[in-house]
Structure 1
Amino acid sequence: MSDFLTEIDKYLDDTMSSEEKKAFEDRLRTDSFLAEELKLQKDIRLIYEDKEWIQGNKSVLRSKHAKELNSFLKSEEAFSLQKTIKEVILEQQDTNSRNRTFYFVGIAAVLVVLIVISFFINSENKYDQLYSQYIQLDSLPSLVTRGEQDTQLIIKGQMYFEDQKYEEAIRAFSEYRNSITSKSIEPSVYVYTGISYIELRDFENALKQFELLSKSNTLHSKKANWYRAMVYLKQNNDKELRNTLQLILSNVENYNFQEALELVNKIDK
């Protein structure tokens, strides 16, 4: 390795004597090349040293994703990646070619970013997969057997819903609700409308539908917390998801108690 790179390593590792450190820092004030190389080596270390990743605002480490990422960075997979990056960088340092060093630093940085992005995508996919598993669309009550005057609007809404035309379904169900008194509204319409909003990622309006369901004064009102949990699951809102699941688990008689218990166990894995 070139002498100046050896010096930089010793400086960053704090293994210089006080005299060597003073002389090195004096050179930094007048040698722009050495100063730039020192900055470059600091950036390189940011790529493969775990301890540097957590400097700055420590509050970000309190989030669930940050804790998961920190755990990943300590894993064998991350360690192997960092070791490979370090070996490539050190090999290129021996060539004493700054351009080649910059090139491989760029590659290393891209690799790290891709790994981190992949980690978060996989984490989010976990919640999406659980949502698909637990939304239980197959168990939704059919609305097409109703014999009321407004049944055509309900049938239209359900057909749109099953065709995944969620905006049209919402409009049909809204027209249905506006055509009759609130006391006679079929409560399952709130479920269909709420899920339609979830699929459109309009979580605020989805929650409003399930709030109406909870106030419907029917047996279906007991399902409201479960569907609220589905909103938070799709939203990847871990805090509210856990809070809502705990409400369901507070009483074994609550709707989908067993499913809520299973879901808690799966999101904890």
Structure 2
Amino acid sequence: MMEEKTQEEIERYLHNEMNIEERSVFEKKIKSDELLKEEVLLQIAIHESFEDPSIQHNQNIYNINLINDIKQQLKSDELRQTSKFIKESTKKHKNSNKKTIKLVTKFIASIAAVILISFMLFYNSQQNSLSLYNEYADWNNLPSLIEKGESNTLSELEILYNAKEYKKIIAFNIPTNKAPYELIYIGTSYVKLNDFKNASIIFDKLINTNSLESSRGYWYKLLILLNQNKLTDAKKTLTIILNNKENYNYTKAKELSEKIKNIK
């Protein structure tokens, strides 16, 4: 938890109560002190979540995307009540004497520290999960239908995919759910359009074809789960893949299973 003096400095900084020299010195301190920077980021996110128009800060110092991520976390069910309490306490004691304000500020700082720890654990987990996704996701490594001498329809899907015409691909009406190659191209097209919900539905259909390509569905679903930071489900899917050495990307899944153990 930040010292009371530092907490007061943060409040003075955010509410523009510092002179130009003090502000400049404090901003240099923020740049050189990662713990202080994280605390200031949290306080900015808290104030902005409460729609406090009085705060001022130099946006060039911070990762704005990180602030927005913290704000989203503050809106989560686990932290909603805590955030509500901070907001109500801030309003209630806004006009109180300095001693009371210090006590409330100190208590809020304690709660903020808990929120910061919770968020950073989540954020680090999300970043690690995404790094694994980026390392293993290769949506261009699909079976070539042209090389296999498949029908004109299947060859057309590959041509459209290479041309990034993903919407045209998902508009295809396939006659049956037991058409693995079509399902692969349609599912990955949904992924390319960031529609992971429909992609998962398609990959479930791929799994249920019981074809030679059906195990690709588990691998593709695993990638989606990593992208969404759903680690529990990702580990379950990894277990399924590792149950059979014949499954698609078994070796990569074995390698990934060791790396995912380090993500909490």
The TM-score normalised by the length of structure 2 is 0.51
1:102 aligns with 2:104: yes
1:155 aligns with 2:151: no
**1:183 Cα shift?**
8.7
Q: Aligned partners of 1:201, 1:172: CA distance in 2, in Å?
A: 15
Question: Match for 1:156: what amino acid?
Answer: L
1:257 aligns with 2:250: yes
Q: Aligned partners of 2:189, 2:157: CA distance in 1, in Å?
A: 16
Q: Aligned partners of 2:152, 2:245: CA distance in 1, in Å?
A: 39
Closer/same/farther in 2, CA of residues 182 and 158 from structure 1, 3 Å limit: farther
SS in 1 for 2:202: helix
Q: Aligned partners of 1:257, 1:184: CA distance in 2, in Å?
A: 23
Closer/same/farther in 2, CA of residues 139 and 105 from structure 1, 3 Å limit: same
Q: Deviations over 1:35-69 (max 9, x none)?
A: xxxxxxxxxxxxxxxxxxxxxxxxxxxxxxxxxxx
Q: Aligned partners of 1:223, 1:191: CA distance in 2, in Å?
A: 8
Instruction: Give the RMSD, CA atoms, in angstroms.
Output: 3.1
1:174 aligns with 2:175: no
Q: Deviations over 1:53-91 (max 9, x none)?
A: xxxxxxxxxxxxxxxxxxxxxxxxxxxxxxxxxxxxxxx
Closer/same/farther in 2, CA of residues 204 and 99 from structure 1, 3 Å limit: closer
Q: Deviations over 1:3-47 (max 9, x none)?
A: xxxxxxxxxxxxxxxxxxxxxxxxxxxxxxxxxxxxxxxxxxxxx
Closer/same/farther in 2, CA of residues 200 and 124 from structure 1, 3 Å limit: farther
Of 221, 226, 232, the match for 2:225: 232
Question: Match for 1:244: what amino acid?
Answer: T
Of 103, 124, 127, the match for 2:126: 124
- Gaps (5+ residues) in structure 1? 1-95, 161-167
Question: Match for 1:124: what amino acid?
Answer: Q
- Gaps (5+ residues) in structure 2? 1-97
User: Paired residues, what number?
Assistant: 163
Partner of 2:138: 136
Does the CA-based 8 Å contact 2:178-2:209 persist in structure 1?
A: no
Closer/same/farther in 2, CA of residues 173 and 152 from structure 1, 3 Å limit: same
Q: Deviations over 1:121-140 (max 9, x none)?
A: 11112111111212223422
Question: Match for 1:103: what amino acid?
Answer: T
Does the CA-based 8 Å contact 1:143-1:155 persist in structure 2?
A: no
Does the CA-based 8 Å contact 1:127-1:233 persist in structure 2?
A: yes
Pick which of 216-225 and 238-247 moved more. Answer: 216-225
Partner of 2:260: 267
**1:97 Cα shift?**
2.0
Question: Match for 1:256: what amino acid?
Answer: N
Partner of 1:113: 115
Closer/same/farther in 2, CA of residues 184 and 120 from structure 1, 3 Å limit: closer
Closer/same/farther in 2, CA of residues 190 and 158 from structure 1, 3 Å limit: farther
SS in 2 for 1:139: coil
**1:247 Cα shift?**
1.7
Does the CA-based 8 Å contact 1:203-1:231 persist in structure 2?
A: yes
Q: Which is richer in helix?
A: 1
Does the CA-based 8 Å contact 1:214-1:221 persist in structure 2?
A: yes
Closer/same/farther in 2, CA of residues 182 and 248 from structure 1, 3 Å limit: same
